[in-house]
């Protein structure tokens, strides 16, 4: 995001200040978000029917993850290592 700062004295006499400058303001900034191509492609993907379908199912997966984490003690690893984590997962499920 790019943020631009303006001199408030110049804003007060600007001919285009209508809707932009407010009397008594101490500062004036304008922020612009520049989206990359990755952001643009993600926005387009989120408009597809496939995404909308899958996002409707997401709450079920999130609920199961929450249950594993909070009710079955899967939020903290009881020991270290990948094998121990797999074993804890098998016992939790």
> How far from the centroid of its chain's Cα atoms is residue 2's Cα?
18
- Secondary structure of residue 15 in the 3-state scheme: coil
DSSP state of 63: H
Q: Which residues contact 4 (CB under 8 A, 6 or more apart)?
A: 29, 30, 31, 32
pTM of the model: 0.43
What count of residues does the chain have?
A: 93
Tens digits of residue pLDDT in 14-73? 887 777 777 777 888 888 887 888 889 999 999 999 999 999 999 999 998 898 888 877
> Domain residues of the chain, as ranges?
2-32, 37-92
């Amino acid at each position: 995001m790019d943020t631009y700062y303006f001199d408030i004295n110049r804003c007060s006499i600007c001919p285009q200040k209508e809707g932009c400058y407010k009397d008594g303001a101490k500062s004036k900034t304008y922020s612009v978000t520049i989206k990359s191509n990755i952001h643009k492609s993600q926005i387009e993907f989120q408009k597809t029917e496939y995404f909308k379908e899958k996002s409707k199912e997401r709450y079920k997966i999130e609920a199961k993850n929450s249950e594993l984490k909070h009710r079955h003690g899967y939020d903290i690893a009881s020991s270290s290592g990948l094998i121990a984590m797999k074993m804890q997962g098998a016992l939790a499920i």
